Structure 1
Amino acid sequence: MEKYKIGYTQGVYDMFHIGHLNLLNNAKKYCDRLVVGVNSDRLVEAYKNKTPVIDENSRQYIVGNIKAVDECIVADTLDKIEMHKKIGFDVIFIGDDWKGNSRWKQTELEMKKIGVSVIYLPHTSGISSTELRTVQNKKVGE
């Protein structure tokens, strides 16, 4: 396994769960330093049309306290070129459930041009913040 200097991953990390932890722990195995971007509330509302259950500052605090995470920032953009200018990572991590997605195919091309690797990590099946929110809403409606 190739070892990278600075790795980066980005996500909402709302209602932090085992899938999030697995992704971060797997990512750390590939790099000396792992930087994690937590999507801002404004960004999540803009592209997902939902308000996170947990606010951005709390999500940043939670993710920043995970042993595998060396630095956690609030991200205001999905533009990985812009994030690369701020952080200077040499590898970016994403769950393999995004493999083949048109946005990630484009990201792969952009990253290749600047010498950044894209690594798809195993997605933990059967768990997501969306699923947790659905289960919670069902319980509230009972």
Structure 2
Amino acid sequence: MDVKVLGPFSMADLIGGSNGGNDPRPKPQNRPIHEAQVETLRELFARYQTEKPFKVGQLVTPRAGFNLHGVGEPCVVLEMVGFDEALTSDEEFGSPGFGARLDLRIATLANGSHGEHAIMAYWNESWQFEPYTGPGASVAEGQANG
């Protein structure tokens, strides 16, 4: 009987915390000092309380650090609704999206299922976005305003 030895394994591999070293997510870094965490959380709360922070036609991008795809990529605001009109996510209790206040509808380019570019539109929480300032932003903003 041939015995094949697999390994080496880390404890995370053995208890299911890894996919054998192929996890594309970056390793977590140490958290910033408490004062910086408090400042970040206060800034987040202020953004969360701001109703309709963007205008229809404005270019936005997902903010870094919110587990959203496309950070730094342009999206266009299709619709903004007030807090009283916002959709509420019906994801399962315990999921990160449960109870999300979906007040921002955006469109962006994505990779289609056959390798082509596809335009995708979806609802998000506006506080997780910021104005897009990357390449082409000033030209697009000028066209939207003029």
Higher helix share: 1
Q: TM-score, normalised by structure 1?
A: 0.22
- The structure whose Rg is larger is 2
Q: TM-score, normalised by structure 2?
A: 0.22
